[in-house]
Copies of this chain bind each other. A is one copy, B any other.
Amino acid sequence: MEQGRPRQGLGGESLLFLTDEQLRQGIEAMFFAYRGFTADPDRILAELAYGRAHHRAIHFINRAPGTTVNNLLSILGVTKQSLNRVLRALIGDGLVESRVGVTDKRERHLFLTDKGRALEASLSDAQRTRMRAAYKEAGPEAVQGFKRVLEAMMDADMRRAYAKLRETGA
């Protein structure tokens, strides 16, 4: 079970110790962990008749206020019809505001209202609390490794989107 500890000091080239069994454990851990990762916000959203799609939109609008619909589209990786359905609900419920662009009037810039920010805070509080607990339990070294593996698991274009977000965010 625990016999598979990496031979340390051999460098990144010699990862032959990775058996299929160990890889599968990683795959399953990812599956279960993702469920845990979304469980708390899901509970909050269910009470409001929203879903994960709404959460994602709210998250990234909060993340990059004033972002355009097209921009959001490429981050989320869904069709505009799909996003539009969600956005319409959020705007209709007064969580999101859509402002016509100044320089380019075709564009709509998206912002959270106070109400939207309140929900975002509640959702991300729940998620951060779990994240913080997991980080604390796993320890600081583990967190670095966690992030490194996650980044390595992304597609090239996702990596670009993520890197771009981090520029803006930090």
CA A31 to CA B153, docked complex, whole Å: 11
Is chain A's interface secondary structure helix, strand, loop, or mixed overall?
Answer: helix
Q: Is the CB of A1 within 8 A of B35?
A: no
Inter-chain contact B139/A12, CB cutoff 8 Å: yes
> With A and B bound together, what is the CA distance between A30 and B134 in angstroms?
13
Query: What copy number does this chain have within its complex?
Result: 2
Q: Is A142 an interface position by the 8 A CB rule?
A: yes
Residue of B nearest to A133 (CB): B152
Residues of A within 8 A of B (CB): 1, 5-8, 10, 12, 15, 17-18, 20-21, 23-37, 39, 56, 63, 77, 124, 127-128, 130-155, 158-159, 161-162, 165-166, 169-170
